[in-house]
Chains A and B, each alone.
Chain A
Amino acid sequence: MNATRFISVHSPSWTALEALLKKLRTGAKPDGKEFRQLTKLYRAVTSDYSYASTFFPAHDITGYLNRLVAEAHAIIYRRRTMKARLAIPWLFRTVPNLFRKNFPPFALSLSIFVLFAFTGFLGAEYMEEGESIFLSFSLTQPEEAFADNSMYINQTESNIRSGDPFAVYDSPMQSMMSSGIAFHNIRVAFFCFAGGIFAGLVTFYVLATNGMMVGAFFHIFYRHDIIFEFWNTVLLHGMIELTMIVFSAGAGFMIARGLLFPGSLPLGDSLRQSGTQAVQIVIAIALWLLISGSLEGFVTGLEMNSALKLLINFLSFSLLIFYWGFAGKKKERTALVTAAPA
């Protein structure tokens, strides 16, 4: 069969597929009849394509059929993951379960953070100029590490003396500040996460410097003997943020684990798998940071006594525990049972 005859015999099914694809390209869903027609035409066109690429590889018709097959393939084998309907189960079932299934990297990141917080505290206690050294590991900004932070300490000190230790948080344009801070936090979370690709070293650096900074910051208040106030106020602003930064570092370590310990998978597949799992957790982290950041915009402006602060702290703590520790646990078990026979 020559190309001309081939075209004239088979082109009716190509034009039919073209018409169907044109309709489906707008996002319309195929009904039952259309779908059967689509699969039938797809099979016909793929076989035409393989015939054409064998016998007329240089003919224009082969390129045309290649494009037709590619487009039909994209529609038939599409995974519809972007449905709004799936967002809620994904957020409250898939993500917490992913987190619990991949717990070791997160435990690692938490322990690194705590370890370096201790280091920062002890360093501030026993080293000369320790506080300013460790505070100079500017929170969450690796680019600005080692900047001069003595001003920050002096201001906090004078604030403590004047009776309002947390005046650094008060600023004339609070909603703007907190909006900026929330996005900055998300940026840092992304940085922690993406830094995992360097075998986790960048993630480790961000985590360690932040840990030391928090430790040194805590030391200022320890020195002035207002520890309870510290926990109550700093946690009000930072509990969710700090936890989320630590978790995003955990997601970074997930990628590092995929890179360093691919197991039986090829390296590329292992990276891809850990990346697609970790990024889902990171999306949830970004949502947490967004919500906590915008709430903070309101909270910061309010006058609060310590009992109310304690209550809010307790609430956000139990929310964290509930979501990351328990959400979606039961559903997963039943899903596993129903899935087993099939």
Chain B
Amino acid sequence: MNPSATAYSIISIETPENISFQYELAGPGTRMVAYLFDFLILMVMMAAIGGVAGWFMSNWGADADFLLAAAIAFVSIAFMLGGYFILFESIMNGQTPGKRLLRIRVLQDNGTPVEFTSIVLRNIFRIVDCMFPFQYAIGTLSLIFSKETQRFGDHLAGTVVVKEAKTQSAKNFIYKDKPVFTGFKQDLFAEPEEFNFLMEYISIYKDLKTADRNRISVKLIRPLIERNKLNLHPELRSLVGHALNPDNREAHKAAEAIMKEVLRHYRNRDKDEDNQK
């Protein structure tokens, strides 16, 4: 889905080629949940290391002094100094385990991968974002009032947190836009907008006067036919002839048949998509 159509919030990035593409920004809630996951992982890691160091201390006594020092060093670097975030955002290209889980990623706001200095800067500024009166009060306020949902650290480092688009392949689209009229020897292709019109037309079809019905049927069908003119099957060619003549009842029957086919196809396709989700 094109992000600009549905996104809660987007960031538009202009390339040197004067084309702008979009990323969907991660909202405050998503980021909070990702942080909670990271916090949980960090706690488990620290508990494990503290446990190991404590076990050695109790068995070896003061000889294990250096082990406790190492444990303190680890806890300090990972937790107090933001080492956990700095390490993972560096090696996982702007992601931490929590961010990976929520499918979000840190990015420079010019669309390039996040740089090391930016990673350090945005994570040192957790100190400010975490400040009073409660955890992440300032950071959350900054997120809410910022146009690109940035906290203080993001503002300074010039970074944004974006949602990762699902990886798709062009093959999916080729497959999806398979011919929709299979009743003829020549396959017909149609556009989504046309189908919307057709479906709407079918819903009011019975309430229309015959003259209007004829006129609209022709208007709707003609582009479909003209588009496929190049290699038109005789059967279709005769349909074109009929359809262009508003008084021909045969043509209207054919048009109606086509529309029903279209409708059926699209209902099935929507069902398939829903099932896939």
- On A, residues with C-beta under 8 Å from B are 2-5, 7-8, 11, 14-15, 18, 43, 46-47, 49-50, 53, 56-64, 66-67, 69-70, 73-74, 77-79, 81-82, 172-173, 175-176, 178-180, 183-184, 186-187, 190-191, 193-195, 197, 255, 268, 271-272, 275-276, 279-280, 282-283, 286, 297
User: How near does chain A come to B76, taking the closest CB pair, in angstroms?
Assistant: 3
User: How near does chain B come to A292, taking the closest CB pair, in angstroms?
Assistant: 14
The interface residues of chain B lying within 8 Å CB-to-CB of A58 are 2, 5, 192-193
User: How near does chain A come to B104, taking the closest CB pair, in angstroms?
Assistant: 15
Complex formed: what's the CA distance from A127 to B262 in Å?
Answer: 93
Given contacts A58-B2, A79-B115, A190-B81, contact A18 B169 (CB under 8 A): yes
Q: Is the interface of B mostly helix, strand, loop or mixed?
A: helix
Determine if A15 and B112 form an interchain contact, defined as CB atoms under 8 angstroms apart.
no
The interface residues of chain A lying within 8 Å CB-to-CB of B80 are 183, 187
Contact with B2, one of A15, A57, A78, A197 (Cβ below 8 angstroms):
A57
Determine if B117 and A280 form an interchain contact, defined as CB atoms under 8 angstroms apart.
yes
Contact with B72, one of A3, A5, A70, A183 (Cβ below 8 angstroms):
A183
Contact with B156, one of A57, A64, A197, A280 (Cβ below 8 angstroms):
A197
Given contacts A49-B21, A70-B23, contact A82 B90 (CB under 8 A): yes
Complex formed: what's the CA distance from A245 to B47 in Å?
Answer: 31
Q: Is the interface of A mostly helix, strand, loop or mixed?
A: helix
Determine if A15 and B169 form an interchain contact, defined as CB atoms under 8 angstroms apart.
yes
B127 in the interface, Cβ–Cβ < 8 Å? yes
Determine if B21 and A73 form an interchain contact, defined as CB atoms under 8 angstroms apart.
yes
Number of A-B pairs, beta carbon distance below 8 Å:
177
CB-CB contacts of B1-30 with A at 8 A, as 1s and 0s? 111110000000101110101110000000
Name the segment of B63-71, B199-207, B232-240 touching the other chain.
B63-71
Complex formed: what's the CA distance from A43 to B15 in Å?
Answer: 11
Give me the 3 closest cross-chain CB pairs, A-B, nearest first: A183-B76, A275-B156, A63-B2
The interface residues of chain B lying within 8 Å CB-to-CB of A193 are 124
Q: Count B interface residues, CB 8 Å.
A: 63
Complex formed: what's the CA distance from A7 to B170 in Å?
Answer: 8
Task: Kindly identify, within residues 241 to 274 of chain B, every residue whose CB is under 8 Å from any CB belonging to chain A.
Answer: none
Among A184, A187, A194, chain B packs the most CB atoms within 10 A around the CB of: A194
Determine if A271 and B2 form an interchain contact, defined as CB atoms under 8 angstroms apart.
no
B165 in the interface, Cβ–Cβ < 8 Å? yes
Closest to B68 in A: A176
Contact with B62, one of A46, A56, A173, A191 (Cβ below 8 angstroms):
A173
**Known pairs A57-B5, A60-B2, A280-B117 / 19 extra A-B pairs, C-beta < 8 Å:** A3-B177, A4-B190, A8-B174, A11-B173, A46-B15, A58-B193, A70-B23, A73-B111, A74-B111, A77-B15, A82-B116, A179-B72, A183-B77, A187-B80, A190-B124, A197-B128, A197-B152, A272-B155, A279-B121
Determine if B189 and A4 form an interchain contact, defined as CB atoms under 8 angstroms apart.
yes
Complex formed: what's the CA distance from A180 to B79 in Å?
Answer: 13
Complex formed: what's the CA distance from A3 to B2 in Å?
Answer: 14
The interface residues of chain A lying within 8 Å CB-to-CB of B58 are none
